[in-house]
Structure 1
């Protein structure tokens, strides 16, 4: 994947950075931990400016986050709860879980959105509960923008600082991103098995 991302960015430049960061928020297996360090490396080679890559990466990532937020807000909690009653076993959640998430968001939503925008694997997912919990759009926008800019600037800055050695950063960060996604999948499988076992016992 690293070579594919590099070739794409070499061809499309800052526009490619924005496109891949948008896709990363729709299809998380495309990791920002590979995209932004390469963009920073291109800055060290005088191929793009630091401001351009951070702006492009932040805009793409921000748009992706907002798409998930508005989709979740449009679906709404009530509609989602009805769907979960019939299909929630595959999500390993119940309507009661939605109530708990909504209560948690009322207390910690602002901090959660800001922090999770800088955590691999959670960067995309945090927009969904924020949307169905109807977190105020102004607050969500500000926290998402701040977390996104800090994350993209940090990764691009590290890639710029490392220069030709940026691959030393991209590799470990890519593994961290993969590990987080794998851990989330393992947790889902555990919850699914647990849920099915409980349902079988009740039956």
Structure 2
């Protein structure tokens, strides 16, 4: 079984629509949708944090906000404020906690909103360019060599597992100095 017809169709589609499109939609439309999605999600997380601060004391969310990871984020938000919110959008897995903690700490909404808009603009730019390129690369790799895509995915999972295991194995003294 050859993937030549599939590759030819994909190359023809890329020539007609460009690389940074999603099923023929222009870049700006994909960017705008990504921006709106992340803006809505981050706002919901912020207001959830505000709700917890207002009186949802015994909930699982309140317990999470007392966890070591959340305490570190809360400390950074106290120290850095809005820049921490903006920069959290360039990370994976931290932005939700940062937005939740910003709401929980009752960061003034005006300051939060400015940081949020800049962060969402950055997030949408990264995911509509780098994210789209990674998606197209995965599709091309799947069309050419599906086993290679599985191998690449296994390497990413193994690397993440190794990193998490190494991070959890650090001693408390190493964590304080980090």
Report TM bin, short chain. Answer: 0.5 to 0.7
Distance 1:158 1:127 in 2: 23
Q: 1:66 aligns with which of 43, 61, 65?
A: 43
Larger radius of gyration: 2
Structure 1 residues 107, 159: CA separation in 2 closer, same or farther (over 3 Å shift)?
A: closer
Residue deviations 1:162-181, cap 9 Å, x none?
Answer: 89546579x879x48x939x
Q: Within 5 Å, which residues of 2 pair with 1:97-116?
A: 102=74, 104-116=76-88
| Structure 2 unaligned residues grouped into runs of 5+ | 1-17, 142-148, 173-178
Give the superposed CA RMSD. Answer: 4.3
Q: Which residue of 2 aligns with 1:36?
A: none
Q: Which residue of 2 aligns with 1:126?
A: 98
C-alpha displacement at 1:122, in angstroms?
A: 0.9
Q: Which residue of 2 aligns with 1:33?
A: none
Q: Within 5 Å, which residues of 2 pair with 1:27-176?
A: 41=19, 43=21, 47-76=24-53, 79-80=56-57, 88=63, 93=67, 102=74, 104-158=76-130, 164-165=136-137, 167=139, 175=156
How high is the TM-score relative to the length of structure 2? 0.57
| Structure 1 unaligned residues grouped into runs of 5+ | 1-39, 195-203
How high is the TM-score relative to the length of structure 1? 0.51
Deviates more, 1:154-163 or 1:61-70: 154-163
Comparing both structures, which one devotes a greater share of its residues to helix? 1
